[in-house]
Amino acid sequence: MPTRIRPTVYIGYVQFFRIRLLVLDAEEIAGYIEELDKETKSIKEQALRISWNMRGGISYNEAMGLSHEERETIGKIIKENLETTKKSGLPYF
């Protein structure tokens, strides 16, 4: 049976997650899970916005693989392009 090799960064996240859950009570765990859910939805929304604005230049799956910094940078570029388009009066959509 093949063994899946994971990078040490992944293992660090798992250990951090487990340690964090061990010190929280039930209500705090529920709140933490809600925070993670909001972050997940935000990442998905960013990826969808990027893939829509790129018009096929980057797929949703590729956008999901981007780092936080890359998504933020692309988002800023898209916002600047939208503002430039509004100022110039050219069609954007």
Q: Domain coordinates of the chain in residue numbers?
A: 27-88
Residue 9 clears pLDDT 70, i.e. is over it:
no
pTM of the model: 0.68
- In degrees and rounded to multiples of 5, residue 43 shows phi and psi of -65, -45
Burial of 57 (0-12, 13-18, 19+ CB in 10 A): exposed
59 or 93: which carries more pLDDT confidence? 59
Tokens of 78: 């898209």
Q: What is the mean pLDDT of residues 8-28?
A: 71
Q: pLDDT tens for residues 32-78? A: 889 989 999 999 999 999 999 888 889 999 999 999 899 999 999 98
pLDDT at 65: 92
Residue 10 clears pLDDT 70, i.e. is over it:
no
